[in-house]
Amino acid sequence: MSGAGAAMRRVFVDGERAELDQPRAAELAGLAARVRELTEAVVHTDVDAAEVAAVSEEIAALTRRLAAARRAAPPIAAPVPGAPHIGRQLANPVTGPLNPIAPPVEIHTRPDRTVFCDFTLTSVYEGPPGFVHGGVSAMVLDQLLGAAAHAAGAPGMTAALDLRYRRPTPYGVPLRGEAEATEVVGRRTHTAARIIAPDGTVTVEATAVFVLPRGLTPEALGNVE
């Protein structure tokens, strides 16, 4: 089995990672939300040099307090029977409520196994002035496409990701992401996705191929059914 497959099995099947119950996850999600506000404040602040120095010192002290009890690796959520393991990664950089760098994006699965998300990106994700960084759009779409593969019962790792940036993606406004699996061939799942601006304009289109690592089964990764 490949390194990635073995690692996924250790985490999701053998229970190698710490598993958080919902109340604990909610506590830490609250902390991450405060840090997201802090990041936004840092990007926009215009306080004077003395205040920057004082706040920097306080933040360093807060970091030391949190690091006083440190896990070796990010924790995951306790398993929910029948639900895909993909949603258990609480520190995922796209969907993870515990990760301050995640927007976070909440992905929903429809009965027809397509997936969607409604999300708003702030100016901390700016690329070209006034618009979302293309790498950030790619990251959101990669996750969404991966979720579509999971929802189709054919999960895997991204083997190929192809993007078409049709129009600039605005930040600070509600965006819609949609994705679906288009074909499953052996361990390979083909998927398609897009980001849609509030006026209905498709700003980014993506296709991706997900490949189930050798030696893993979809069931080991927690199917939707």
Based on the shown chain and the rule CB under 6 A, indicate whether residue 197 belongs to the binding site for ligand MFK.
no
Strand partners, 202: 196
Based on the shown chain and the rule CB under 6 A, indicate whether residue 222 belongs to the binding site for ligand MFK.
no
Strand partners, 107: 117
CA–CA gap between residue 204 and residue 2 (Å, rounded):
32
Based on the shown chain and the rule CB under 6 A, indicate whether residue 4 belongs to the binding site for ligand MFK.
yes
The secondary structure of the chain in percent helix, strand, coil, rounded to multiples of 5, reads: 35, 25, 40
Please list the alpha-helical segments (H only) found in the chain. Answer: 3-8, 22-44, 49-66, 134-151
Q: Residues touching ligand MFK: how many (CB under 6 A)?
A: 22
Find the binder of ligand MFK among 122, 188, 197, 202 (CB under 6 A).
188
Strand partners, 158: 210
Based on the shown chain and the rule CB under 6 A, indicate whether residue 43 belongs to the binding site for ligand MFK.
no
* Of 170 and 206, CB closest to ligand MFK: 206
CA–CA gap between residue 78 and residue 68 (Å, rounded):
24
* Of 116 and 131, CB closest to ligand MFK: 116
CA–CA gap between residue 152 and residue 225 (Å, rounded):
10
* Of 87 and 168, CB closest to ligand MFK: 87
Site for ligand MFK in 111-170 (CB under 6 A): 142-143, 146, 155-160
CA–CA gap between residue 208 and residue 210 (Å, rounded):
6
Based on the shown chain and the rule CB under 6 A, indicate whether residue 187 belongs to the binding site for ligand MFK.
yes
Based on the shown chain and the rule CB under 6 A, indicate whether residue 110 belongs to the binding site for ligand MFK.
no
Based on the shown chain and the rule CB under 6 A, indicate whether residue 180 belongs to the binding site for ligand MFK.
no
In angstroms, give the least distance from the CB of 221 to ligand MFK: 5
Based on the shown chain and the rule CB under 6 A, indicate whether residue 23 belongs to the binding site for ligand MFK.
no
Q: Are 106 and 143 in contact (CB under 8 A)?
A: no
Q: Are 164 and 128 in contact (CB under 8 A)?
A: no
CA–CA gap between residue 91 and residue 73 (Å, rounded):
10
Find the binder of ligand MFK among 44, 164, 166, 214 (CB under 6 A).
214
Q: Which stretch binds ligand MFK (CB under 6 A): 56-64, 105-113, 199-207, 213-221?
A: 213-221
Q: Contact residues for ligand MFK (CB under 6 A)?
A: 2, 4, 8, 86, 142-143, 146, 155-160, 185-188, 209, 211, 213-214, 221
